[in-house]
Every structure is written in structure tokens, then in C-alpha cells.
């Protein structure tokens, strides 16, 4: 098996045979032994041995093929171990592999998606391939080539322009490969894009959160504030006359609030199933509460006539669902609370989630990955990692506002059918000046992102009236230019690519294919 290629996919879905004798222990005995073992392992080395032992107990077949060396990593849904292939001769060089043990509580669909992605996409264009897959009851392990790599924070401070160009180019190559299969990786970050600095090799790993691009659903777009268009319907004349006679028989002591002339009932016209909202005459002085009427399952739709009618305007007692009372306000009304929860993917690592993910936009595309690539590029240009330190989605959105501007984020959200409210106005920053300022101000590396972004020392985009004079700009930036002479300066094309990667609108955000043809990546701007 070569480390760079995917040779075979072997799935072992057979359950292990029952172990007899003294090894057949109950669940309680297992728990007692685990607790006593964990207590005895107080140093990291013993803990490593315990982790390896647990893996071999869960998947005994691994012990027949590999020598598990140690645990080298751990994530939310899996643990990663370094393993050597058992050789027949002691002098033979042992090939190294990585064994990924997925936690048993993972959903089978997620495991299947990761397997399919690595089998079909991996092994080409910097995408990690798969060599072997084993399953033992609820435990699944994946075996991949071992890829020695450097830590991102070890080389981010001294990456040259040319090295950055190659790094981003290879990242875009991997993303283009993934996106060609209509797959969203959803977890693009430096720890999932491995880089061997010595050999200049790259590998995109971890498809645990990957998913197919969802098929967009056809929906009627509703714009708040516009009047409802009258609905044209058709009614059978005979049934309409019958309906009018039955309505005339209703007790006049009740007042008709609304009538849906497109539905009727054949039986028990005064029952609760009749699609009318009525209030008795004695209830007129009571406080009026808004009501929403929806068609019943038992109702029958009439549509066999050619006569065109228009519905009467709604009563003031009936709220229109399209224009609820709280739209655009920092509150929630009864209509909103009665709606079902929004179903939108939110998977990803905090700090790398795109704006459309944070505002729970349903129709997410591969542009989610391009935003994450933009955050990586921003970290390189600013020499700051992590650039965003996000405890929750709202804080993440606020930090994006502090860079792009609050009004710009609001406008982008409106294009996606969302309304974002912010009690303060934040002007947009100039990304080039921001990165250059953070590059020079290395002494602020220990300060928090809030301090860096909220400080008055960072550049903001100014309106024409607020623009400084050339003389004042020259004096303000003179100190920065002196410091920048000591390090290599990135060309303007790099910041242009950064702006296109961090485009707030996912539909206009640059694609992986487009990024590969950008002047900074192609090297047109080389001097």
C-alpha cells in the first residue's frame, strides 16, 4: 500500500464471535475494571496504553494487522492512533498508517457519507484517501496513510508570499476536487488541511461533517411591507348557491368574521369543523386577539368552475401571516412562536462558520467552504491564529460585523431573506490596512480579538467627508511603513482575493475554480 494512493476499501461488517471462558464479562464488570484501570493510569504514558488497549478490545481484528503505537489526536467524533503494519521479517521497514476510531454514538449516515467521500474523492488533488475500513458491532475504524505535518501556528508567523501562494493554491485544488462531487466539506480549517513544510505536501482530511449540497426547495418569496395580491379562485355556481343558503340559516346572533369561499362542509354546518371564524354578539366588547385560520384536512377544495372571483379583504381581527407584528423588531410575536423550528445546517468549527450558517440560511452551498478558506487566508495575512475566537453564533456574527460593518451584514442578510438587528453601528474595516496593522503590531498577539477589533487604532473605511488629508495620512502611516520594510509585503492581489473569499453574499463569493485563476494564485503579480 502506497501512502499517497487509495488502493482498496475493505469493509468487514461481520460481528466478532462470542468470547467464552473468563473473557465473557458482564457490563458491570467492565465498568469496574475500567474505573480501576483509569485510577491506576496517572501519567500520560499509562493513559496512552489504556487508550490503545480499549481500541484493541473494541476491534480485535486490528491486532492481527497493525501494531498500535500511540494515540496522536482526538476530536469531537473520533480518536486517531498511529499504527505500524506487522511485518513477517524484523528487518523489513514498517509502513505507518493512521487509524481513526469513530465514536459508537455517531449516526450511521454520517459514517457512510465519510466513507463514500474518502473512497470516491480521496487519493487525488490533495484529498486524503482510504486504505481500509473495519467494523466490529458498533465500532468503526478507518485506516489512512500516515501524513507527517507541521502545526499551523509554528509556521504562520514566517510564511513568505510565495509559500502562502502555494499553500492557498493547494487548498483550492483540494476544495475544487471536493466541490466537483457536489459535496460540502463543512469543516475546512488549518488542522484539517495538513501541510508538510519540508516536502511541500498537502492533504485535506476529516470528512466527518461532509454533506451533499441540498436541493433547493421552491418557495414563494414574500417581501414584508407589500400588500397581498388578491387571490383568484373559481367556484362551482350550484355549490356556491347551496353554500349561501346554508350560511343564511346560521343564527344571526353571531357575527361573521371571515369566510374562506374556497372551502365548505357538507355536514353540520354550524360545527367547529366549519372553516369560519365567528364571535358571538355578546363578545364584541371583549379584547380582540389576533387569530390565524388554516384549512382543515376535512375541507374540500372547489375548483371546477370558470367564474373568477376575488376574495374580500381580511377583517382587522385577522392578522396576516406574511406580515407579522414583530417583523424587523427585537421581539417575537405569537405568530413566530407558533411556527416550526428552522432546519438549517450548523455544523462546523466556531470561528470558521460562514455568515449564512450563523443566520441559519437553509440553502447553503459549497460557498461555506470558501468562507472558511478565506478565514485561513486572513489568519496568514494578519499573522494571527485563531483570528476569530467565538464562543457562540451571535458573538461570531458580531465579530464579522466588526470587520465588514453592521449595515453591510444587515444588507447581506436581507438578500437571504433574513433580518439582522444590531443596536450599534459599526463601520467596515479596510482589510488590507487591518492585516498590515496586525502584522506590524506583533506585540498585541496576546490581546483578545475584542480588544484588537474594538480599538480605535485599527483602520476603518471612511466616508468622503471623513477622509484624512494626504499629509495626515502620510504621518499616520509613516511608522507602519518603517516596520514593514523588515518583512516581505504581500501584493494588492492577495487582499483582493481575500475580499472575494470573505464576500458576505454566498452567491457572489468566489469559487474554488475561480480562485485558482485569480492573479495572486497564478502569479501574474510576480515582480
Closest by CA position to 492, among listed 404, 429, 432, 403: 432
Q: Is the Cα torsion angle 110, 112, 113, 115 positive or negative in sign? A: positive
Residue written as grid cell 417575537:
332
Q: Compute the distance between CA of residue 525 and CA of residue 169 in angstroms, rounded to an integer.
A: 15
Residue 100 is labelled as binding a ligand: yes
| CA angle, 74 then 80 then 86, to 5° | 160
Closest to 104 (Cα-Cα) out of 77, 131, 70, 130: 77
3 state DSSP class of 338: helix
Helix (H, G, I), strand (E, B), or coil: what is residue 296? coil
> What's the burial of 109, exposed, middle or buried (CB within 10 Å: 0-12/13-18/19+)?
exposed
Pure H helices in 158-271: 161-180, 237-248
Instruction: For residue 159, count other CB atoms closer than 10 A to its CB.
Output: 18
- Catalytic position from the list 67, 91, 187, 525: 187
Element (H, E) at 133: strand 132-136
187 is a catalytic site residue:
yes
To which residue does cell 465588514 refer? 404
Return the H-helix or E-strand segment holding 234.
Answer: strand 232-234
What does each C-alpha distance from 484 to 161, 324, 414, 527 come to in angstroms? 14, 54, 40, 18
For the beta carbon of residue 423, count every other beta carbon within 10 angstroms: 6
DSSP at 362: S
Q: What share of the chain is helix, strand, coil (3-state, %, to 5)?
A: 40, 15, 50
Cell of 464: 468622503
Backbone torsions φ then ψ of 448, nearest 5 degrees:
-75, 160
Task: Tell me the three state secondary structure of residue 277.
Answer: strand
φ and ψ of 426, to 5 deg? -115, 125
The DSSP element (H or E) to which 201 belongs, if any, is strand 201-204
Candidates 515, 184, 204, 189; CA nearest to 380 is 189
Binding residues for ATP: 100
Binding residues: 100
Residues involved in catalysis: 187
Amino acid at each position: 500500500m502506497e501512502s499517497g494512493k487509495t488502493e482498496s476499501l475493505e469493509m468487514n461488517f461481520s460481528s466478532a464471535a462470542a468470547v467464552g471462558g473468563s473473557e465473557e464479562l458482564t457490563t458491570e464488570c467492565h465498568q469496574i475494571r475500567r474505573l480501576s484501570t483509569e485510577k491506576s493510569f496517572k501519567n500520560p504514558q499509562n493513559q496512552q496504553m489504556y487508550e490503545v488497549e480499549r481500541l484493541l478490545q473494541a476491534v480485535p481484528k486490528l491486532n492481527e494487522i497493525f501494531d498500535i503505537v500511540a494515540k496522536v489526536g482526538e476530536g469531537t467524533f473520533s480518536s486517531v492512533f498511529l499504527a505500524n503494519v506487522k511485518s513477517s521479517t524484523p528487518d523489513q521497514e514498517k509502513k505507518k498508517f493512521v487509524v481513526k476510531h469513530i465514536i459508537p454514538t455517531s449516526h450511521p449516515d454520517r459514517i457512510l457519507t465519510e466513507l463514500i467521500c474518502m473512497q470516491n474523492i480521496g487519493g487525488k488533488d490533495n484529498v486524503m484517501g482510504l486504505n481500509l475500513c473495519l467494523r466490529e458491532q458498533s465500532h468503526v475504524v478507518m485506516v489512512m496513510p500516515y501524513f507527517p505535518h507541521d502545526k499551523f501556528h509554528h509556521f504562520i508567523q514566517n510564511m513568505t508570499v510565495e509559500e502562502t501562494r502555494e499553500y492557498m493554491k493547494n487548498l483550492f485544488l483540494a476544495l475544487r476536487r471536493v466541490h466537483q462531487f457536489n459535496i460540502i466539506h463543512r469543516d475546512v480549517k488549518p488542522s484539517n488541511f495538513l501541510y508538510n513544510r519540508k516536502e511541500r505536501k498537502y492533504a485535506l482530511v476529516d470528512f466527518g461533517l461532509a454533506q451533499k449540497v441540498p436541493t433547493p426547495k421552491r418557495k414563494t418569496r414574500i417581501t414584508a411591507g407589500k400588500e397581498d395580491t388578491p387571490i383568484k379562485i373559481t367556484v362551482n355556481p350550484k355549490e356556491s348557491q347551496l353554500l349561501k343558503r346554508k350560511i343564511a340559516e346560521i343564527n344571526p346572533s353571531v357575527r361573521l368574521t371571515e369566510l374562506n369561499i374556497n372551502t365548505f362542509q357538507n355536514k353540520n354546518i354550524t360545527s367547529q369543523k366549519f372553516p369560519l371564524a365567528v364571535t358571538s354578539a355578546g363578545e364584541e366588547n371583549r379584547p380582540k386577539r389576533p387569530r390565524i385560520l388554516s384549512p382543515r384536512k376535512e375541507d374540500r377544495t372547489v375548483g371546477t368552475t370558470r367564474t373568477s372571483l376575488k376574495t374580500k379583504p381580511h377583517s382587522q381581527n385577522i392578522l396576516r401571516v406574511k406580515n407579522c407584528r414583530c417583523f424587523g423588531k427585537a421581539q417575537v410575536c405569537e405568530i413566530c412562536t407558533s411556527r416550526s423550528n428552522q432546519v438549517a445546517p450548523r455544523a462546523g468549527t466556531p470561528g470558521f462558520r460562514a455568515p449564512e450558517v450563523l443566520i441559519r440560511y437553509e440553502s447553503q452551498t459549497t460557498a461555506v467552504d470558501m468562507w472558511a478558506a478565506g478565514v485561513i487566508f486572513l489568519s496568514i495575512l494578519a499573522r494571527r491564529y485563531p483570528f476569530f475566537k467565538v464562543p457562540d453564533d451571535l458573538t461570531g456574527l458580531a465579530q464579522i460585523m466588526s470587520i465588514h460593518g453592521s449595515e453591510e451584514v444587515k444588507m447581506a442578510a436581507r438578500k437571504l431573506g433574513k433580518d439582522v438587528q444590531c443596536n450599534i453601528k459599526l463601520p467596515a474595516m479596510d482589510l488590507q490596512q487591518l492585516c498590515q496593522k496586525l502584522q506590524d503590531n506583533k506585540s498585541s498577539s496576546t490581546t483578545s480579538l475584542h480588544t484588537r477589533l474594538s480599538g480605535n487604532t485599527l483602520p476603518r473605511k471612511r466616508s468622503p467627508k471623513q477622509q484624512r488629508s494626504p499629509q495626515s495620512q502620510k504621518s499616520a502611516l509613516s511608522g507602519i511603513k518603517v516596520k514593514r520594510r523588515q518583512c516581505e509585503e504581500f501584493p494588492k492581489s492577495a487582499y483582493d482575493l481575500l475580499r472575494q473569499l470573505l464576500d458576505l453574499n454566498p452567491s457572489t463569493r468566489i469559487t474554488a475554480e475561480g480562485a485558482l485563476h485569480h492573479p495572486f494564485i497564478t502569479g501574474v503579480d510576480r515582480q
